[in-house]
């Protein structure tokens, strides 16, 4: 097969403008990040670099990626592009579960603390992903198991940030451990 094939290469006359638009969107986003980085102080800190160093690096790398995407799209489309593996339609129930998890985390993190709000986000996201695979399990045992896994993932992250790195995250108590 040639690189311009429409079967396994995934290139159609419709995909090249979409691929170009993706690259252009990356370029625009990188410009927005650069504008934001320019408003951050450049005063060198303890490591010899200022707080605007990383935003400049990210915007520069994103700009390069965007330009390369545009060039690739305009010279025949993205190469070695596999056909999509998902369904033809979005799974809206799964999307709703995951969205509920993210929104509940944002709404409850200052009330429940980092660990419990992240664990709740995990539980709801698992429901969404399992729903998309037609394996949704709403039994109490599944909820409890996923909640325990969520706590097991979120607690060490919380402790690492609060105890080792001295970065304040919202906690359930003022002890720094919950």
pLDDT per residue over 47-105, tens digit each?
667 778 889 999 999 999 999 999 999 998 888 777 777 777 888 999 999 999 999 99
Other Cβ atoms less than 10 A from the Cβ of 148: the count is 12
Of 156 and 172, the structure prediction assigns the larger pLDDT to 156
DSSP per position, 126-173: HHHHHHHTT----SHHHHHHHHHHHHHHHHHHHHIIIIIS------SS
pLDDT of residue 23: 95
Split at pLDDT 50, 70, 90, the class of 125 is very high
- Looking at per-residue pLDDT, the higher value among 125 and 133 belongs to 125
User: CB pairs under 8 A, 24+ apart, for 90-98?
Assistant: 91/131, 91/132, 93/128, 93/131, 93/132, 94/128, 94/129, 94/131, 94/132, 95/128, 96/128, 97/124, 97/125, 97/127, 97/128, 97/131, 98/124, 98/125, 98/128, 98/129
How far, in Å, CA of 60 to CA of 75, rounded?
23
Structure tokens at 21: 């638009």
Q: Report yes or no on whether pTM surpasses 0.85.
A: no
pLDDT of 168 reads 82
Considering only 3-7, 111-115, 166-170, which range has the smallest mean pLDDT? 3-7
CA R_g for the chain: 22
- Measured distance CA(125)–CA(108) in Å, rounded: 15
pLDDT over 80 at 177, yes or no: no
Mean pLDDT of 137-160: 95
Inter-residue contact 37 to 59 (CB < 8 Å): yes
Query: Bigger pLDDT: 131 or 85?
Result: 131
């Amino acid at each position: 097969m040639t690189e311009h094939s429409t079967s396994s290469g995934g290139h159609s006359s419709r995909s090249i403008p979409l691929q170009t638009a993706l690259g252009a969107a990356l370029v625009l986003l990188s410009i927005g990040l650069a504008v934001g980085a320019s408003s951050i102080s450049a005063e060198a800190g303890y490591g010899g670099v200022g707080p605007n160093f990383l935003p400049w690096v990210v915007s520069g790398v994103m700009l390069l990626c965007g330009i390369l995407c545009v060039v690739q799209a305009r010279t025949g489309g993205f190469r070695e592009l596999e056909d999509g593996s998902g369904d033809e339609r979005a799974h809206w129930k799964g999307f709703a579960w995951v969205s509920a998890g993210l929104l509940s985390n944002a709404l409850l993190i200052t009330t429940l603390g980092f660990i419990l709000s992240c664990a709740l986000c995990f539980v709801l996201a698992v429901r969404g992903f399992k729903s998309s695979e037609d394996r949704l399990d709403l039994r109490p045992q599944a909820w409890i198991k996923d909640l325990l896994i969520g706590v097991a993932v979120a607690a060490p992250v919380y402790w690492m940030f609060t105890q080792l790195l001295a970065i304040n995250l919202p906690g359930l108590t003022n002890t720094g451990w919950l």
